[in-house]
Structure formats: C-alpha cells, structure tokens
Amino acid sequence: MKGALGVLALPLAFVLPLAVLSGGGDSAAPKPGGGGDVSGVPTEYQAVLKRAGSICPEVTAPALAAQIEAESNWDPAATSPAGAQGIAQFMPGTWASAGKDGDGDGRADISNPQDAIYSQGAYMCSLVEGVKKLQASGSVSGEVLDLALAAYNAGLGAVQSAGGIPQNGETPAYVERIKAAMANYVQAPGGAGGPGVAGASAGGLEDSSPVPGTFAPEAMSLPDPTPGAHGTALITPRMSTLITDVMSNYPQIVQPALYCWDAHPYNSASDHPQGRACDIPFYSCAADPQRSADPSTGTAAGNAAANWMAANAGYYGIHYIIWRGQEWDASTGVWVPYDGAGGLYDTTDCSGGHYDHIHVSVF
C-alpha cells in the first residue's frame, strides 16, 4: 500500500533545465547511515542503491530508498499524468541529460531500475552542488539534503526563489515524508541488512563485497587527463574511465597534485608506469589537523571517496585502494592495515602511509 501522500505525480525539478556548477564541499556532516549502507530494500536493488548512495556524502542510500518510496513505491513501471516514468520518476526530457548507465550494459534506460536508481543518486548529488552554490551566495538557507530534496520535487529555481523549501504544501510534505522514512532503511550496526551491504571498518572506511569475475588486460592508449599529468603520458581505458568519473564526482581534487602515470623508479612493482594507477589528493595527516578537518579535501571527504570507489569496484574494475594506512583489495572487499608495499614505504609517514593521498589501481 502506498503511503498517505501516494505516488507524487510530478517532480517539477524534472521539467526545468538545470545547470549546476562544480564546487567544493560544505561543513555539513554526512547524515546518519551514511554512504552505501542500507537495509529493508528489495534485494535486487540493494547493490545499485549502495553505489548510488556513495556518489556524494550528503545523499545516502537510505535517503534514496526513502525517496523512491515516495516517488513510485518501488514500482519500476510507475508513470504519472505529466509523463514521469520509472522507479525514480524521471521526466524524459531530464533523462536525456541526466540518465546514466547504472548496470554497465552500455545503455541508459529510463525504465531500467538499475539505471534509474544510479541516475537518481547522481542527479541528487548535482542538486546538492547547486544548493551549496546558492547557500554560498546567501540565496537560500536550510539543510543541504532538505533543500536538494525540495529541488528534486519543485525545481532548483523554486528553491532559490523561496530562499529555502517552497511553502507550496506539496514540497514540505515531500521532504518531511522522506526524512521520516529514512530511518526505515538505515542499516543496523554490525552490517545487518543483506548480502553485499558494507560493514563498518577502520575509522570511517567501509568493507564491501569481493569483486567477482576477471578483467582483461589493457594497454595504455588514452592520455592521462589529470592536472598533474606528465607530458604525453598514457593510461589504460579502464583507468581513464575511473579517474574521469572521480574528477566529476569530486571536483575539489582537480589540482596539480592529482596524477596517474608516473615512472616510479623506486618501486618496480608500481602500477603507475603501467597506466593503471592514480594518486588522488585528499589529506588526513596528523601533522596538520586543520587541513585534515577540511570538509572538502580532508579525512571525511577522503573516506567518502575511498568508500565510493570500493563500492563501485566491480563497475570500474578497481584492483586495490590505499588510504590512511589501510588497504582495500578486490579479492576480499575488506580494509586491512597497509604493509607499505612489503616494507618499501614507511607506513607511519604522511606520504608513505598514504595519509596525503588516495592511491587507486585498476586491473
């Protein structure tokens, strides 16, 4: 049975064109049940909700699940009189620009729940960035998630015009319904909630499931797109896909310290010379607590990015991730203490222990 509000027929945000400029984070802490942890959802949507809820820290899997409940009550064939379609109730015009391939089959299909849910997470994160811009300019006030949900329902322009949540009757009820329902989807401590759901690990890093299958070797054939690229350096297509999405999802790290290919003469086993690795400049060193606390590039932001990559490892073909003295490997899906590449690096050092950057390697 649908809730009291029923299926909301028209998320007006889907009618209006949206141009969201990229920018840094704000000081708001991630909401409870953050990242991809989720429970109480249909099994077939658990994995994609985990990925969609790991795109940005403000938009969690429980928030997306509660939003789907309000939009379609989990009906992938839902339609509205205005023409909204699918489990996330996208308007076709918005889908044309916001739709993404969520299951890796090469198509972005509005009627495919895997695509729609992943696109919902990405679109909500774009609204978060738009809201942050409005907050920075003093145009709106309120909690970021509340305002992003209001923008999903009424449009970012309506949120700007109202200086916050539009008081039109429907939108405040929409936001409150979703906020109230989020608790129903928060995973219980200890990892309960079904297969493939992450459990708590070291200091904000989340274990995940092992990555099944194998990935064919790739040659270096595409330019390193990072600001720190060395001349005409090349990387593999798999690495290019991942780092391009990382730069899109985390624009604050697009700076000269971000690079992929490197000769790495001091480590003959490194993936950097093979174009299969990148170093991403987040910071969590004890030497500079203020920098580590930066909400955009500090510890919490780095944890969110590392968890997002681990959650999406199967999609991108990620082999391992190193961050804050911990290493995640695709074969186990578990974070363990980093051994410094067999003792080559001092893991107590800011750089050697990877406290000043995330290292990610692909197959």
Question: What are the structure tokens assigned to 3, written together?
Answer: 């809730």
Please write down the HEC assignment for all residues of 108-133.
Answer: CCCCCHHHHHHHHHHHHHHHHHHHHH
Q: From CA 76, how far away is CA 73, in angstroms rounded?
A: 9
- The residues assigned a catalytic role are 71
Question: What are the structure tokens assigned to 147, written together?
Answer: 């305002």
Sign of CA dihedral 227, 232, 234, 237: positive
Angle at 160 between CA 154 and CA 165, to 5 degrees: 55
Strands (E), the chain: 222-223, 234-235, 277-280, 318-323, 326-329, 335-337, 358-362
Q: How far apart are the first and last CA of the chain?
A: 45
- Kind of pairing, strands 358-362 and 277-280? antiparallel
Total residues found in the chain within this entry: 363
Q: What is the DSSP string of 98-110?
A: H---SSSSS---T
91 and 83 Cβ atoms separated by less than 8 Å: yes
Sign of CA dihedral 286, 291, 294, 297: negative
Q: What is the CA radius of gyration of the chain?
A: 20
Q: Tell me the β-bridge partners of 318.
A: 362
Question: Phi/psi of residue 6, each to 5°?
Answer: 70, -165
Q: From CA 233, how far away is CA 231, in angstroms rounded?
A: 6
239 and 277 Cβ atoms separated by less than 8 Å: yes
Question: What are the structure tokens assigned to 302, written together?
Answer: 């780095």
The count of other CB atoms within 10 Å of the CB of residue 251 is 16
Question: What are the structure tokens assigned to 330, written together?
Answer: 């695709």
